[in-house]
Amino acid sequence: MIVLDIEKKLKAYSGTEVLRIEKQFNAGSINLITGPSGAGKTTLLKMIAGVIKPDNGHIVVNEQTWFNAAEKINITPQQRRTGFVFQDYALFPNMTVRQHLNYATTNNDWIDQLLAIGKLNAFANHKPNHLSGGQQQRLAILRALAIKPAVLLMDEPFSALDVKTKTELLADLNNVFKELAATVLIVSHNPQELKEIASDELIIGEDYILPFH
Ligand SMILES: Nc1ncnc2c1ncn2[C@@H]1O[C@H](COP(=O)(O)OP(=O)(O)OP(=O)(O)O)[C@@H](O)[C@H]1O
């Protein structure tokens, strides 16, 4: 289970605002994160991953405190071991598809399983600049899964995929998520596509943004 009770000052277009989120996600659940552009969806994922520090509150994951402002606890991103799919993929230009996965795991059977899910077997020795946008995005997803994370954070992970590819991939991913018993948070501007697999939704709307005094 992920227990969030956090506050973060955001430097927004209209001045400084405070993002305040109090929410729990069940262990092993798949959850949608929605809300308008600039609401703080990416910032929320990064606070859970440990790359952005909240100003106040706490984050507790599977009964382990990852962050507690009052107790000055803030464990590192490496200790949190979340899987993260970045909006811009953040691939390594000099690594092939297989090297990306090999960097995260030495389990070759798992790598082959992932390549099959992402339909990237034939591209295992290609570097990112020889992949299409959709293939790059699938690689970003596979890399995040390679460490078999307990918490998977995905920022607009299907934006470059056509409907057929997305539907097939989602069915496979749903099985992998269950197999790993991962708690999954997916930011999406197109929540309809995930309605069938998601069990909960956090809408970061006006209720979550407070004026800063
Ligand atoms: N490290 C940070 N500290 C404070 N504010 C930040 C930080 N990073 C981003 N912001 C600000 O927080 C606001 C929310 O940004 P964020 O990227 O989280 O929005 P989003 O909901 O993911 O938007 P989009 O749907 O467009 O991707 C923006 O105004 C941004 O400038």
- % of the chain residues with pLDDT over 70: 96
| Pocket flag, ligand 1, residue 51 (CB < 6 Å) | no
- Cα(119) to ligand 1 centroid in Å equals 32
- Over residues 2-17, the pLDDT tens digits come to 999 999 998 876 778 8
| Pocket flag, ligand 1, residue 52 (CB < 6 Å) | yes
Residue nearest to atom 4 of ligand 1 (CA): 10
- Cα(160) to ligand 1 centroid in Å equals 21
- Over residues 45-76, the pLDDT tens digits come to 999 999 999 999 999 999 999 999 999 999 99
CA distances to 91, 140, 148 from 145, rounded to whole Å, are: 14, 9, 5
- Cα(206) to ligand 1 centroid in Å equals 15
Residue from 30, 154, 145 nearest 86 by CA: 154
Q: How far is Cα 119 from Cα 147, in angstroms, rounded to an integer?
A: 19
- HEC string of 43-82 equals HHHHHHHCCCCCCEEEEEECCEEEEECCCCEECCHHHHCC
Mean pLDDT computed over every residue of the chain? 94
pTM as predicted: 0.94
Q: How far is Cα 63 from Cα 3, in angstroms, rounded to an integer?
A: 9
Contact 152, 82 (CB under 8 A): yes
- Over residues 98-154, the pLDDT tens digits come to 999 999 999 999 999 999 999 999 999 999 999 999 999 999 999 999 999 999 999
Predicted ipTM beyond 0.85: yes
- Cα(209) to ligand 1 centroid in Å equals 12
